[in-house]
Amino acid sequence: MDTLSSLPVLNHSNPILSRVTEATRAALFEAGQVVTFDADSVLFADGEPSGAVLFLLKGQLQMGKVASRGRRQIICSSNSRSCGGLCMLMFGDNALADTRGLQAGQVLVVQRDRFEALIHADPALCRAAWESTAHCMAHLSELVARLSFDKVGERVLKALYNATEKDGDIVRMTQTDLAAEVGTTREVVARCLAGFQEEGLVRLGRARITVLDRARLAQGM
C-alpha cells in the first residue's frame, strides 16, 4: 500500500459513507486507514493476508487474477459508487484477487474485526454489506456465464459497446488490457479487432480504438 493517513477525506462521492449516521462515519474513519494510491500501484496481492473491507473515496480500482503464464483476467473495475460504495472482496483471511489502482485516488481500508463491530450499531451499514456481497455475487455469476458461453468475438464487441455511448467515441485501451477484460490473449484480440476494422466497425490506433458503428456492434453481441 502507498501513503497512509488518518485524516478523513470529506470530498468524496461514496454513497454508503454519505448514508450512514455521522457517528458511524466518524467511527469508520477512526477505525480504518485512508490509503492514497497511484495508477498501477498494488494495494493487495492475490492470496496475501487481507481481512478488510474497502470504501473507495476517489479514483478507480481494478481487481484481477494472473495465471501462471502471466495472462491476467480482470474480475471487476470499480469507482466510489460501485457495489454501493463498499467492496467485500478482501473480507476473507486472504485476498481473492490482486487489487491495484486503475486511476489514482484514495480508499478507506477498515479491518474486518473493526467493521464487524460497527455493523451491529448501524443497520444502514449492515444492509450495505449484504447489498455489496449480493452485487458482487451477481457480477461474478455474469462473468462466469460470459466467459463460458459467449464467443471471444462477442465478448470483444460487448466490451467496446459498453465502453462507448455513440459513434466516434474512443476506447483508450491497449489490446493487452482488452484481452484481460474479455478473458483471452492479446493475439486473439488483435485478430478480432483487425476483422472488425475490415468490416468498418472500428478504427484502430495506438492504444486507442475508435468505434464507428455502435448499432452494428450491438447486432454482433
> pLDDT (tens digit, 9 = 90+) per residue, 120-166?
989 999 999 999 999 999 999 999 998 999 999 999 999 999 989 88
Given 88, 113, 148, the domain boundary residue is 148
Residue type present at position 47: G
The pLDDT value recorded for residue 5 is: 43
- 171 and 99 share a domain? no
Q: Which of 190, 189, 195, 196 is nearest to 213 (CA)?
A: 196
Is 4 a residue whose pLDDT tops 70? no
**Average pLDDT score over residue span 81-99:** 91
Residues 6 or more apart whose Cβ sits within 8 Å of residue 199: 216
The grid coordinates of residue 166 equal 455513440
The pLDDT value recorded for residue 11 is: 52
Q: Give the structural domain span for 100.
A: 4-148
3-state helix, strand, coil in the chain (%, to 5): 40, 25, 30
Is 10 a residue whose pLDDT tops 70? no
- 135 and 161 share a domain? no
- 11 and 81 share a domain? yes
- Most confident range (mean pLDDT) of 8-22, 48-62, 66-80 is 48-62
- 13 and 116 share a domain? yes
- 76 and 40 share a domain? yes
**Average pLDDT score over residue span 39-47:** 93
Given 97, 118, 148, the domain boundary residue is 148
The SS3 call for residue 6 is coil
**Average pLDDT score over residue span 27-33:** 94
The pLDDT value recorded for residue 210 is: 95
- 19 and 117 share a domain? yes
For the range 183-186, what are the long-range contacts, defined as Cβ-Cβ under 8 Å and sequence gap of 24 or more? 183/73, 183/146, 183/147, 183/152, 183/155, 184/152, 184/155, 185/71
- 9 and 94 share a domain? yes
Global confidence as pTM: 0.78
Question: How many structural domains is the chain composed of?
Answer: 2
- 114 and 75 share a domain? yes
Cβ–Cβ < 8 Å for 52, 87 = no
Residues 6 or more apart whose Cβ sits within 8 Å of residue 90: 44, 50, 51, 52, 53, 54, 96, 99
Given 106, 123, 148, the domain boundary residue is 148
State the Cα–Cα distance between residues 23 and 207, nearest whole angstrom. Answer: 46
